[in-house]
Structure 1
Amino acid sequence: MSFTAWFELIVSGLITGGIYALIALGLNLQYGLMRILNIAHGEFLMVGAYLTWLVQTQFGISPLLMIPVSFAVLMALGMVLHFLCFRRLTRTSPNLDVFEARSLMVAFGLMFLVQNFVSWLWGGDLRGYDYLTEPVKFGEMQFAANKLLIFFLALLFAGALIVLMRQTLLGKGVRALMQSPTGAQLMGIDTQKLHPLMFGIGLGLSGVAGALLSMAYTITPFMGQPYTVTALIVITLGGFGSMGGALVGGLFLGVIEALGMHFTNPSLKALLSYTVFIAVLLLRPEGLFTRKSRKA
């Protein structure tokens, strides 16, 4: 292979990995802070994609303008869901293990509820629209403009969340809760306000990812579940609770998949991802990009 072919292959993997990272960051925020393994996360990504598709095709509004709208709508929905479902579970569960099990069952219900509602509303057909499909050339290399834009915006939002977590008082409070919930509450951090806000931000990021994906890929009511599984793999690679690890893990998995599909069979993409997932769980369960004593 020529250098140009190698470069195109790696960039293609990074573009995919950027989306993986953005999805994983939202899920990692929810699990790392609240121990809510929201396996319906991908379904809300799908909702963001459908909202963007609907507004673009019906009213001709640019999907770029729908990105903050998707974030706001999904964030608000996330805060409502936390109040209606997970906040009550926190109060009624006798310990953390019971809460994790119950919240997982609730997330299962939400996953099928959202899938069936969207399928009933818009049917199961593939949906999509054309947006910035023309190629952008860099010397002998060329990439679709919409995918380059997706990559840039995914990194922008991922970087914004990491800066929020590392540089702001709010982020320091979240990290303190991740490291020692009891100690953080003794220091006066209000979990009653912080938990729904962070759950909402996590779901808002899934809405952003859905809006971005709709710019370049077809969407269906059943597109969410594979992205949830991929996000879990990314979180495992980067380390549970680590925001920087999720970003690096997403980019890493995207490149690994791109290389694997090129040199093997494209149909083996899922097999390759699961192999990496199992290997990391067995050999380095704390993640590839974090230390055992440090998170986020």
Structure 2
Amino acid sequence: MSFGAWLELIASGLITGGVYALVALGLNLQYGLMRILNIAHGEFLMVGAFLTWLMQTQFSVSPLLMVPVSFALLMGVGLIVHRLWFRPLTATSPNLDVFEARGLMVCFGLMFLVQNFASLIWGGDLRGYDYLTQPVAIGGAQFAVNKLVVFGLALFFSGALIVLLRTTLLGKGVRALMQSPTGAQLVGINTQRLHPLMFGIGLGLSGVAGCLLSMTYAITPSMGEPYTVTALIVITLGGFGSMSGALAGGLLLGVIEALGMHFTNPSLKSLLSYSVFIAVLLLRPNGLFKK
């Protein structure tokens, strides 16, 4: 293989991995902070993708403009979902284990509710549009402009969340709650405000990921579930609760999938992902990047 071919292969994996990381960061934030294993996370990614497709095809609104709009809309949906379902669960669950189990059941219901609602509105056909598909040459390799945009925005939003959590007072409160919920509440951190805000930000990131994916791939109401599973694999790679680990894990998984599909068989993508997942669980259950 030429240098350009290697560069194109690795970059393709990094571009995919950037989206993986963005999805995983939102899910990791929800589970690491609130112990909500939101298996409906990918369905909200799908909603962001369809909203972007609808606005672009029907009203000629640029997908780039829809990036902040998708974040704001899905964040608002997240605040509502938390208020309607997870806040009452918090009040009625006798302990964290019961809350986690009940929350998982709620997320199952949300997954089927959102997926079937989308199928009812948009049908089950593949949807898509052309946006910034012209190629650009970098280092002897050819890349579509839209994929470079997707990678850049995925890294931007992922980095922005990590910086927020590491450098701001809000982020310190979130990290304190992740490390010791009881201790954080004893020093005055208000979980009644912080939990819904972080849940909303998590869904907002899924909306951004869906918006970005719609620029490069065909979309369907069933597209969300595989991304939820992938996000769980990424979180396992990076370590539950580790945001920088989720970013590194997403990029690593994207490269592993790209190399594996190139040198073996593209149909083995899921096998590669699950093999990595099982290996990490057996050999490094705390994650590759978590200290």
> Normalising TM by the smaller chain, what interval?
over 0.9
Q: What letter matches 2:285 in structure 1?
A: P
Q: Superposition pairs for residues 71-86 of structure 1, below 5 Å? A: 71-86=71-86
Secondary structure in 2 aligned to 1:142?
Answer: strand
Length-normalised TM-score, structure 2: 0.99
| Match of residue 24 from structure 1 | 24
Quick one: distance in 2 between partners of 1:90 and 1:270? 35
| Match of residue 164 from structure 2 | 164
| Contact 2:43 2:225 survives alignment (8 Å) | yes
Quick one: distance in 1 between partners of 2:136 and 2:113? 40
| Match of residue 202 from structure 1 | 202
Secondary structure in 2 aligned to 1:261?
Answer: helix
Q: What letter matches 1:68 in structure 2?
A: P
| Match of residue 234 from structure 1 | 234
Q: Superposition pairs for residues 55-70 of structure 1, below 5 Å? A: 55-70=55-70
Moved over 6 A (4+): none
Quick one: distance in 2 between partners of 1:14 and 1:257? 10
Quick one: distance in 1 between partners of 2:138 and 2:182? 53
Structure 1 gap segments, 5+ residues each: 292-296
| Match of residue 15 from structure 2 | 15
| Match of residue 222 from structure 2 | 222
Quick one: distance in 1 between partners of 2:21 and 2:139? 28
Structure 2 gap segments, 5+ residues each: none
Residue 139 of structure 1: how far off its partner (Å): 4.2
Q: What CA deviation, in whole Å up to 9, does each residue of 1:64-103 have, x standing for no partner? A: 0001110000000001000100111111111111111100
Residue 141 of structure 1: how far off its partner (Å): 1.0
Residue 2 of structure 1: how far off its partner (Å): 1.9
| Match of residue 294 from structure 1 | none
Quick one: distance in 1 between partners of 2:211 and 2:4? 30
| Match of residue 289 from structure 2 | 289
Q: What CA deviation, in whole Å up to 9, does each residue of 1:29-82 have, x standing for no partner? A: 000000000000000000000000000000101000001110000000001000
Q: 1:139 to 1:253 in 2, by over 3 A?
A: closer
RMSD, matched Cα: 0.5
Residue 275 of structure 1: how far off its partner (Å): 0.5
Residue 160 of structure 1: how far off its partner (Å): 0.2
Q: What CA deviation, in whole Å up to 9, does each residue of 1:189-218 have, x standing for no partner? A: 000000000000000000000000000100
Length-normalised TM-score, structure 1: 0.98
Q: What CA deviation, in whole Å up to 9, does each residue of 1:150-188 have, x standing for no partner? A: 000000000000000000000000000000000000000
Q: What letter matches 2:13 in structure 1?
A: G
Q: Percentage identity across aligned positions?
A: 81
Quick one: distance in 1 between partners of 2:139 and 2:31? 43
Q: Superposition pairs for residues 36-47 of structure 1, below 5 Å? A: 36-47=36-47
Q: What CA deviation, in whole Å up to 9, does each residue of 1:222-258 have, x standing for no partner? A: 0000000000000000000000000000000000000
Quick one: distance in 1 between partners of 2:174 and 2:49? 28
Q: What letter matches 1:25 in structure 2?
A: L
| Match of residue 258 from structure 2 | 258
Residue 140 of structure 1: how far off its partner (Å): 2.1
Q: What letter matches 2:237 in structure 1?
A: L
Secondary structure in 1 aligned to 2:216?
Answer: coil
